[in-house]
Amino acid sequence: MKTQQQIIEASEKYLMKTYGRFPVALVHGDGCRVFDADGKSYIDFLAGIAVNGLGHGHPALLHAIEEQSRKLLHVSNFYHIEPQAELARLLVEHSFADKVFFCNSGAEANEAAIKLARKAAKDRGEPDRFEIITMTQSFHGRTLAALTATGQEKFHKGFEPLVPGFRYIPFNDIPAAEKAVNGKTCAVMVEPVQGEGGVNVPGPDYLHALREICDKRGALLIFDEVQCGMGRTGRLFACEHFGVWPDIMTLAKSLGGGVPIGAMLARDEAAKSFSPGTHASTFGGNPLSCAAGIAVMKTLLATGFMENVTARSDYFQERLLKLKKAHPVIRNVRALGLMVGMELTVDGAPVVKACMEKGFLINCTNGNVLRFLPPLIIRNEEIDLLVEALDEIFQAGDFA
C-alpha cells in the first residue's frame, strides 16, 4: 500500500485543483470511523457530505452490492432493469410521487427537475412560463443550470453568462414569495432545509405557504432533498416534518449509501411531459446503483431506524446547547434530525482543522457554520467524544 505522502503527491501531480484538500488520504472505513493511509482513525461527522448515511461497510449495503455485481453491473435503459423498477416502487410507495427518473447525482437530478418544469409549462400551452424562482443561500449543484439555480454569487463567478430564467428571493420569507411568483413562473425550487447555506431550517408555515402560492399562481413546487432527504432529518424526507408534498422532488447523496445515484420524483401531471427523447442518462438507474438504493431504502424503513435517528439527534442537540452556554463563541445551534449546524462568531475553518487533528471529520459552510452530518448510525458515545473535543478546542481559544 502507498504511504499517505505518496498518495498526496500523486493527487497533486495528476488531478485538477478543483478541491481544497486536507493533507489526509482516507483508505478504509468501518461504521462511523475512517482511517488514513498512515493508520490514524477519525470519527466521521461529515459522512461524505451526507452520502454515507449507513456509515462505512454496512452489511446490508455490502451484501447488495456484492450480489448484484455478480449478476449484472450495467445495461442500457433501452431495456427494463429489475432493480431500477423495484427502487422506483419503493420511492413511489413511500412518497407523493407517481413516477421516478434516475440519474447519477444531485446536480443531474436538479437539471432534470428544471427541464421537466419548463417542459410541463409548455405542454400546458404556456410557452412564456419559464422562470424558476430559487432562494438566496441555496445550493443546487455545479452543472450550469443547477449552478444558476444556486442563490450564491460566489459560485457564479467566472461562469457567466448564466442560464437565463432564474430569480432569487430570500429563504423563509413568505411575503417575498407572494410578490415574486407570477404568470412567468413555471416553478419554485427550494431545499426544505438549506445545507450549504448554513443548515437553515424554515419556520413551520413556510413550505405550506409556498405550496399555496404555487397552487394559486399555477406554478410547480420543487423540493431539493439531495442533502436533507433519505432519513437525514429523522423522516424519510425532510418535507414530512412540515406536512407538505411538492410536485417534483430531487434526491441523491445518501440514496446509494456511497454508490453514485440520483433520482427525480414527480406527480403524473408533470411526469407525463417526459417522453422518449426528452431526457436521458446513460448510467442513470443502472443495476448496481439501484441495488444499493434498495438496500438503503429497506434499512431506513426498518422498524425503529428513524426513531433512533431522532433520539441521536435530540441527544446531539442537547449536548451542543450545553456547550453553547459555556462558550460565547457559539452564536447558535440549528438542527433538524442529524443535519446540524453550529454558528460561530469567528471563522470556522481553524476549528475544522483542530477537530481533524483530534480525530474528527467535520466541515464549515458559509464561513462560520460548523456542519455536522454524521452517519445515521452514530452512537451517543461518539457524539460525546466530539463534544468533548470541541469543548477543549473552545477552551484553548487558539482558533480565532
List residues with catalytic annotation: 139, 224, 253
Per-residue cell: 387: 463534544
Report the distance separating Cα 241 and Cα 141, nearest Å.
24
Find all residues with CB under 8 Å of 268, minimum gap 6, and list them: 98, 99
Q: Give the Cα separation of 204 and 276 in Å (integer).
A: 40
From residue 304, give the alpha-carbon distance in Å to each of 238, 294, 339: 17, 18, 19
Whose grid coordinates read 427494463? 80
User: How wide is the angle at C-alpha 62 spanned by C-alphas 301 and 48, nearest 5°?
Assistant: 75
CB within 8 Å of 301: residues ≥ 6 apart: 90, 94, 236
Cα separations in angstroms, 237 against 174, 231, 234, 249: 22, 6, 8, 10
User: Given its phi and psi angles, is residue 257 left (phi above 0), alpha (psi -120 to 50 degrees) or beta?
Assistant: left
Distance (Å, whole) CA 63 – CA 309: 23
Interatomic CA distance for residues 394 and 350, integer angstroms = 11
CA angle 250, 369, 257 (to 5 degrees): 35
Whole-angstrom distance, CA of residue 137 vs CA of residue 151: 5
Peptide bond into 161 cis (omega under 30): yes
Name the burial class of residue 79, with classes exposed (0-12), middle (13-18) and buried (19+) by CB atoms within 10 angstroms of its CB: exposed
Q: How far is the C-alpha of 100 from the C-alpha of 381, rounded, in Å?
A: 39
